[in-house]
Amino acid sequence: MSARSVRAALADAARQLESVSDTPRLDAELLMAHALDTTRDVLLLGRLDDPAPEGFAALVARRLTHEPIAYITGTRAFWTIDLAVGPGVLIPRPDSETLIETALAWFGDRTPVRILDLGTGPGTLLLAALAEWPEALGLGVDASEVALGYARRNAEALGMRARADFRPGDWTKGIEGRFDLILANPPYIGTAEPLPPQVLDHEPAEALFAGSDGLDDYRRIIPALPALLAPGGAAILEIGWTQGEAVSLLGQEHGLSPSVYKDMGGRPRVVRLT
């Protein structure tokens, strides 16, 4: 009896994953590509009639427990780079690419020579920015040694280790000098807000929640920004879609001029402070 094909295994997995995912077919394809050690494009273009690999079923079983795809495959694409990720780090989201888009629009033909990424996680924003500006240098700060370990490995894999310094820290405490670009995706979820199981049960709570209104970390970060921003620089902060007005007001209270930008879904996602 011939082995089941990749095509048949994908169809079966997609049906199973409907109970845990809004994108069951995509999830199945990503897991299959990982099991075959290939890309999704190569899988779809030329591997559908191959025998399904033995390890695929185990990957699907993990996804059925709501484990995030990125943790199962160990990687996540963001902007123009691929990042290694795993338990203990926040998984990069497409909405966060709005921060890089906002930075590119602000600087235009200029290069932000010094970049600071507060709460860098696996190096997401800093490394994406350094990929855009090859002459720039960056500092990523995070309270999690696990996240910093991923960030350093990602910088090495991307050939950016000489340009990216990663240090343990508590937001802006102890940081000296001025920066042309400050990026931050702080926790901004209120402690009572509901989250899907794949986020709540797997991603680190300290990277998600920030007090009852989700604003605790902005209250710590924003007061320090005027002393850290270089002339002509910008601080670009990710926000929850209902927080544009509150974060803008915090910036104004500390002498900064705010602008709010929307993500691909049309929701407020970024506050730029200058």
Given a cut of 50, whether residue 242 has pLDDT beyond it is yes
For 240-261, what is the mean pLDDT? 98
* Model confidence pLDDT, tens digit, residues 210-224: 888 999 999 999 999
| C-alpha to C-alpha distance for 7 and 219, rounded to whole angstroms | 51
Give 217's contacts (C-beta < 8 A, 6+ positions apart): 119, 171, 186, 187, 188, 210
1: pLDDT confidence band, cut at 50, 70 and 90?
Answer: very low
Gap between the Cα atoms of 95 and 270, Å rounded: 9
* Domain boundaries defined on the chain: 6-65, 87-273
Q: Which CATH code for domain 6-65?
A: 1.10.8
Q: Determine the length of the chain.
A: 274
Was domain 87-273 assigned CATH 3.60.20.10?
Answer: no
Q: How far apart are CA 216 and CA 86, in angstroms?
A: 26
Mean pLDDT of the 53-76 span: 97
What is the share, in percent, of the chain residues with pLDDT greater than 90? 93
